[in-house]
């Protein structure tokens, strides 16, 4: 009986062990796998920024030169329009006001004494101006007489002489032609024919002389006479102007004493009024309602000069800012690799430091058109774009300068196939998932991905709803991925040399490593720089043709570079989290 019981127990133990082994072999779904299903998720972009007021008024010092603050309203005070904000020392201004109080009565008496001489000089000046004006009128008449009379007559004479010469030449040519015809028939002698030719030549020369005379008259005589008469007009006009200026100069000279006294009085009065205005500006009042915030002037490498009583200020320096806390915004800096994901009008959620558990809503209202490189001395390649998120109206009391966390809603992805980000693996610019319910039976499949969040990745091809994918890959699974290249290292090197224009180096003999190529294994098929593995190119991250055309983010690029380091073990599962908000296919990188 005991023996039977022992045999039954042994049989039961073997049966249970076999069932467990069968269960593992069958690959039942467990925590390391996930079923592909349709889901909806939000694509967001998270950044940190600083809370600022949408509207702010700068309060500046308007006192000339440099001065000292003797009283300053406490920072953080709520003020109304017209409240006193700053008092600036005015001792020097008071001294200058007293110095500008000069008597101007003597200038009045001197001006009255010079007035009579001034009146006499006016009559003489008027007579001289009339004479100069008459000379100008006569010169203009002479010019018009020449242009409209003398020139026209001379031109007609020259043209007439030319026309007569042309007709005489034509007549002489006709006679010559007739004479040549008669000469062939023997009616005139050769001497008569030669005389006709001489007459025709003389007539042609007369035409040239008449033409030349007309040209000389138009090009030289007319221009010379015209310029001379125009010069006479211009000289008469200049003489008139000199006469007028001389009269004005003497007029100014005769009234110099009275004018100087008057000018001195007016200048002194203007300076006095200016210093009185400066005196008023030593007390600065609030131009609008707001919260008092001292302006900290930024200097080199983040240092600043704080406003305080006793500090020195200069003209046009901003002393205080009065932000309107009823309308607030958050200013964040977006890296250039992420700017293609943001747009004006996108909604955002904002969490403010010091107000836990409260979420403020807002929207993107401004994106800088150019990158801000104010920190280029730290990182010359860093380019970020200032972006503003305006908060919706809230009854909460907010103050500027507080750190805030902004989550921008890039888009809502609804009813798409999705898997967790850790199920996606990237190699050679392609994305893969390991389909199966367990690691032992999973096989890699190439997939097409779409949008991704910090939790899920959209699947556009390669997987079907209801299938399972493995979440945790080991070296056995990664080894099943396609190799980057089936060519030997020597072939890859020769191709690279050919592309670079360098002569291909001779491959090492079989069984020998190439000493110029690093570590070598058998037949030159070593592990690259460290030996033991085929050299592979840095893993690429695939981007699909998304609606937004999003490309790999800076975080993706950094992760790809990290995984491509020589110290990384081949096939090790270096997890690469996709950046929120873009169409990426990264889950892990080889």
- Residue-wise pLDDT for 112-139, tens only, equals 777 778 888 888 889 999 999 999 999 8
pLDDT at 74 > cutoff 60: yes
CATH topology match: 62-89+282-316 vs 418-589: no
Rounded Cα distance between 153 and 159, Å, is: 10
Average pLDDT over residues 187-215: 86
**pLDDT at position 354:** 87
Pairing of strands 425-427, 430-435: antiparallel
Give 157-162 contacts, CB < 8 A, sequence gap 24+: 158/210, 158/213, 158/214, 158/217, 159/214, 161/210, 161/213, 161/214, 162/207, 162/210, 162/211, 162/213, 162/214
Q: Position of tokens 């890296």? A: 335
**pLDDT at position 575:** 36
- Residue-wise pLDDT for 401-453, tens only, equals 889 999 999 888 899 999 999 889 888 888 999 988 887 788 889 999 988 88
- Residue-wise pLDDT for 484-510, tens only, equals 545 555 554 565 555 444 433 333 333
Better pLDDT: 541 or 105: 105
Whole-angstrom Cα Rg for the chain: 50
Name residue 579's beta-bridge partners: none
Q: Position of tokens 């774009």? A: 385
Token pair belonging to 202: 């003389």
State in words which class domain 62-89+282-316 has: mainly beta
Average pLDDT over residues 254-282: 82
Rounded Cα distance between 136 and 272, Å, is: 49
Better pLDDT: 286 or 97: 286
Average pLDDT over residues 11-30: 42
What does pLDDT average to over the chain?
A: 75
Average pLDDT over residues 265-286: 87
The residue among 423, 449, 411, 417 whose CA lies nearest residue 546 is: 449
**pLDDT at position 452:** 84
Highest mean pLDDT among 94-103, 267-276, 374-383, 484-493: 267-276
**pLDDT at position 48:** 92
**pLDDT at position 403:** 92
- Residue 528, Ramachandran bin (φ over 0: left; ψ between -120 and 50: alpha; else beta): left
Q: Which of 383-397, 486-500, 518-532 has the lowest mean pLDDT?
A: 518-532
The residue among 451, 447, 477, 452 whose CA lies nearest residue 463 is: 447
Better pLDDT: 459 or 524: 459
pLDDT at 9 > cutoff 60: no
Rounded Cα distance between 306 and 75, Å, is: 12
Token pair belonging to 560: 């790809």
Average pLDDT over residues 31-39: 85
**pLDDT at position 375:** 61
Backbone dihedral angles phi then psi of residue 212, each to the nearest 5 degrees: -65, -40
376 — pLDDT class (breaks 50, 70, 90): low
561 — pLDDT class (breaks 50, 70, 90): very low
532 — pLDDT class (breaks 50, 70, 90): very low
Average pLDDT over residues 18-23: 40
- Residue-wise pLDDT for 240-263, tens only, equals 999 998 888 888 888 777 777 777
Token pair belonging to 553: 């983010």
Q: Side-chain half-sphere of 362: how many Cα atoms within 13 Å?
A: 28
Is 78:293 a contact under the CB 8 Å cutoff?
Answer: no
Token pair belonging to 43: 């694509």
pLDDT at 377 > cutoff 90: no
CATH for 418-589, among 3.30.360.10, 3.40.800.20, 2.40.420.20, 1.10.1040.10?
2.40.420.20
**pLDDT at position 84:** 92
Residue 120 makes CB contacts below 8 A (sequence gap 6+) with: none
Average pLDDT over residues 519-527: 35
Backbone dihedral angles phi then psi of residue 273, each to the nearest 5 degrees: -65, -35
**pLDDT at position 417:** 92
pLDDT at 35 > cutoff 50: yes
427 DSSP assignment: E
**pLDDT at position 361:** 93
Is 473:434 a contact under the CB 8 Å cutoff?
Answer: yes
pLDDT at 365 > cutoff 90: yes
Backbone dihedral angles phi then psi of residue 209, each to the nearest 5 degrees: -65, -45
Grouping H, G, I as helix, E, B as strand and the rest as coil, residue 439 is coil
**pLDDT at position 88:** 92
**pLDDT at position 251:** 81
31 — pLDDT class (breaks 50, 70, 90): low
Q: Provide the percentage of residues in the chain whose pLDDT is more than 90.
A: 18
Q: Give helix 256-281 / helix 91-99 axis angle, nearest 10°.
A: 160
**pLDDT at position 29:** 42
- Residue-wise pLDDT for 334-352, tens only, equals 988 888 889 999 999 999 9
Rounded Cα distance between 446 and 424, Å, is: 10
Is 445:462 a contact under the CB 8 Å cutoff?
Answer: yes
**pLDDT at position 215:** 87
Better pLDDT: 214 or 106: 214
Highest mean pLDDT among 25-29, 273-277, 374-378, 492-496: 273-277
Grouping H, G, I as helix, E, B as strand and the rest as coil, residue 221 is helix
Rounded Cα distance between 89 and 420, Å, is: 68
pLDDT at 511 > cutoff 70: no
**pLDDT at position 177:** 86
Average pLDDT over residues 215-236: 87
Cα separation values, 128 from 121, 142, 173, 239, 559, Å: 11, 22, 66, 10, 94
Token pair belonging to 428: 């050679």
Q: Which of 56-65, 108-117, 304-313, 411-420 has the lowest mean pLDDT?
A: 108-117
Where do the domains of the chain lie? 62-89+282-316, 106-260, 418-589
Residue 169 makes CB contacts below 8 A (sequence gap 6+) with: 200, 203, 204, 206, 207
Rounded Cα distance between 525 and 534, Å, is: 7
């Amino acid at each position: 009986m005991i023996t039977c019981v022992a045999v039954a127990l042994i049989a039961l133990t073997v049966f249970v062990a076999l069932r467990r082994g069968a269960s593992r072999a069958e690959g039942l779904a467990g925590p390391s796998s996930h079923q592909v299903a349709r889901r909806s998720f939000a694509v967001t972009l998270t950044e940190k920024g600083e809370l600022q007021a949408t509207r702010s008024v700068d309060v500046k010092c308007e006192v000339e030169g440099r001065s000292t603050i003797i009283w300053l309203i406490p920072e953080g005070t709520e003020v109304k329009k017209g409240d006193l904000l700053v008092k600036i020392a005015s001792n020097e201004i008071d001294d200058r006001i007293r110095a500008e109080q000069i008597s101007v009565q003597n200038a009045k008496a001197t001006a009255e004494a010079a007035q009579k001489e001034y009146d006499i000089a006016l009559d003489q000046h008027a007579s001289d101006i009339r004479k100069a004006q008459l000379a100008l009128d006569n010169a203009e008449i002479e010019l018009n007489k020449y242009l409209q009379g003398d020139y026209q007559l001379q031109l007609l004479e020259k043209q007439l002489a030319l026309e007569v010469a042309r007709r005489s030449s034509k007549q002489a040519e006709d006679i010559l032609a007739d004479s040549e015809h008669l000469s062939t028939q023997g009616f005139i002698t050769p001497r008569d024919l030669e005389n006709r030719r001489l007459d025709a030549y003389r007539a042609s020369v007369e035409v040239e002389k008449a033409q030349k005379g007309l040209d000389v008259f138009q090009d030289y005589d007319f221009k010379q006479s015209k310029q001379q008469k125009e010069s006479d007009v211009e000289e008469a006009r200049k003489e008139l102007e000199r006469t007028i200026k001389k009269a004005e100069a003497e007029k100014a000279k005769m009234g110099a004493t009275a004018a100087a006294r008057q000018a001195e009085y007016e200048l002194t009065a203007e300076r006095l009024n200016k210093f009185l205005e400066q005196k008023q500006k030593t007390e600065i009042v609030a131009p609008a309602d707001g919260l008092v915030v001292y302006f900290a002037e930024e200097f080199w490498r983040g240092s600043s000069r704080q406003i305080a009583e006793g500090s020195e200020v200069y003209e046009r320096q901003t002393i205080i800012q009065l932000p309107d806390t009823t309308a607030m915004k958050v200013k964040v800096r977006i890296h250039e690799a992420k700017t293609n994901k943001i747009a004006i009008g996108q909604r955002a959620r904002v969490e403010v430091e010091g107000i836990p558990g409260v979420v403020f809503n807002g929207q993107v209202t401004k994106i800088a058109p150019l990158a801000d490189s104010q920190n280029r001395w730290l990182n010359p390649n860093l380019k970020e774009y200032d972006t503003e998120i305006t908060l919706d109206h809230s009854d909460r009391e907010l103050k500027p300068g507080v750190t805030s966390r902004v989550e921008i809603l890039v888009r809502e992805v609804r009813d798409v196939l999705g898997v967790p980000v850790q199920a996606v693996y990237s190699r050679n610019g392609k994305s893969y998932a390991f389909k199966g319910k367990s690691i032992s039976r999973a096989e890699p499949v190439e997939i097409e991905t779409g949008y991704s969040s910090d939790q899920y990745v959209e699947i556009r091809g390669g997987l079907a709803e209801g299938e399972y994918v493995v979440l945790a890959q080991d070296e056995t699974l990664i080894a099943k991925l396609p190799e980057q290249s089936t060519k030997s290292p020597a072939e890859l090197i020769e191709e690279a040399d050919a592309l670079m224009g360098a002569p291909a180096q001779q491959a090492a003999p079989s069984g020998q490593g190439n000493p110029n190529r690093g570590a070598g294994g058998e037949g030159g098929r070593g592990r690259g720089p460290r030996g033991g593995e085929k050299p592979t190119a840095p893993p690429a991250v695939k981007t699909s043709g998304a609606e937004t055309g999003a490309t790999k983010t800076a975080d993706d690029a950094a992760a790809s570079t990290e995984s491509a380091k020589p110290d990384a073990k081949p096939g090790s599962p270096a997890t690469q989290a996709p950046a929120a908000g873009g169409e990426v296919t990264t889950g892990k990188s080889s």
